[in-house]
Structure 1
């Protein structure tokens, strides 16, 4: 699976220069430069990344790198961080707190690109190599997040957390861009829209986008009416999405499957992910392969 790494610095030239050099040096990774405050915050919440390289000193913004790292830990429990600072003494107390999290894999000084990139490459190669050999760390983080989401008592927070969990789950499968709470062309609100940019012939046949509806109601089943409303949204995408997913921590009513069978002749397809399928995906070592298996089981033809 291709890995995404965020390169975060308040100086455009430094962010772009470092990401360009790392892209040339490290295969199987995409290094993305972010240097505007709004752009940085949006990327932290909405992009998927295995790692972030964060400059602590940010004189141009109200926030500093310490706050950015904390936001990364909050929004993406699957990611690790390399901290960059020429002012480690100034941030010693706060850095100590971050290091105790176990999510910071290195703290490095800024140097000239020619000297610095080989040092970064060594750290990044070691981390990603360990991640490829043992995916259990990501799986455990997803499982913990899913458990906390299911156990949340506040209905509104529960719904938000479930959407965020589903977003990270699908990004861990390999989808790099997931947008939340999007209105389609008919002004219907969709919980999540995945940009289908994954490099897989089987997945690519489902159109440019995949719609996801999230139902975090463990005591209620997804109903036939839920399906009909969602299917209508799928039909109103003007061909941009041929595939939709209804994800739930609860169950799918039998009438939903019957209704889906009635629509099986249509080119639009809907996949159902209940607790069983979600756990299967969380625990899978090869999540893309498992995802395709689930599609095969439900949406053959």
Structure 2
């Protein structure tokens, strides 16, 4: 798993300066500065990160750092937060509940870089060292999120949560950009589009994008018709996507497998992720290797 850090501040120069300084101090992490309202919310909801460095005061914004942190905890079950601020006293009361969550690594004052960067470096490296040694915390968070997703009663929220869950899974595999609910030129809606930007020669053979169709139906099978409709979306992608993933919290109907075998000679491939494969990905120590193993097991037939 990549070590990816969002650096969130309302001041462009501070976000970019801190990102640059930390990039020079820590070699095995990616630091992404975000400093505009819309960009911050978009990054929180759609980008992969396992740590966010958040400034508390955000002058001129419609929200402050407290709101940002709560949003992170809401949408990313395995992200931790490192709070940095020169105004901790102003937010003391609001901070108490966040600190009790166990998801805040530390609260540090902003200082001159020669003093501040070593402190940040120590906290960040210790966190990622523990994460590398034991991935169970992330796996347990994904498993809990998956369970809640399957048990959701509201039909709309059920689909929305499943899509968000799968975006987290694929970001944890290593994909940086996941787009949700995209409507193409032919008015077809695709649940998720993944930019195939993982540095892997095997996955690189499957085109620039990977399309994902999400079916949160724990007690139902994915039908032959679901497969045919999704296959047409891949065929109409102008060659940008050669790999599709039909994901379900339930199972794949037998007639769907038969239909997949009929088109197994086609260049475009569709991989099935049923409940069994999803749980394999959640529990895997190396999620990229597990994902490729799932593809290997199906690519001849599908």
The 8 Å contact of residues 54 and 82 in structure 1, kept in 2 or not, is answered as: yes
Post-superposition offset of 1:300: 3.3
The 8 Å contact of residues 264 and 300 in structure 2, kept in 1 or not, is answered as: no
| 1:106 equivalenced with 2:109 (yes/no) | no
Post-superposition offset of 1:25: 1.5
| 1:187 equivalenced with 2:190 (yes/no) | no
SS, match of residue 201 in structure 1: coil
CA distance in 2, matches of 1:218, 1:118: 48
Post-superposition offset of 1:38: 0.6
The 8 Å contact of residues 163 and 214 in structure 2, kept in 1 or not, is answered as: yes
SS, match of residue 68 in structure 2: helix
Partner of 1:149: 149
Partner of 1:5: 5
The 8 Å contact of residues 185 and 237 in structure 1, kept in 2 or not, is answered as: no
Aligned length, in residue pairs: 301
Normalising by structure 2, report the TM-score: 0.98
SS, match of residue 143 in structure 1: helix
Post-superposition offset of 1:86: 1.2
Normalising by structure 1, report the TM-score: 0.98
CA distance in 2, matches of 1:64, 1:144: 28
- Aligned-CA RMSD value: 0.9
Runs of 4+ in 1 over 6 A off after TM superposition: none
The superposition leaves residues 80-107 of structure 1 with CA deviations (integer Å, 9 ceiling, x where unpaired) of 0000111111111111110000000010
CA distance in 2, matches of 1:188, 1:78: 32
Partner of 1:285: 285
CA distance in 2, matches of 1:86, 1:179: 35
Partner of 1:89: 89
Give structure 2 stretches of 5+ with no counterpart. none
The 8 Å contact of residues 192 and 211 in structure 1, kept in 2 or not, is answered as: yes
CA distance in 1, matches of 2:184, 2:20: 35
| 1:64 equivalenced with 2:67 (yes/no) | no
SS, match of residue 106 in structure 1: strand
Post-superposition offset of 1:113: 2.1
| 1:265 equivalenced with 2:245 (yes/no) | no
CA distance in 1, matches of 2:163, 2:214: 6
| 1:52 equivalenced with 2:60 (yes/no) | no
Post-superposition offset of 1:229: 0.2
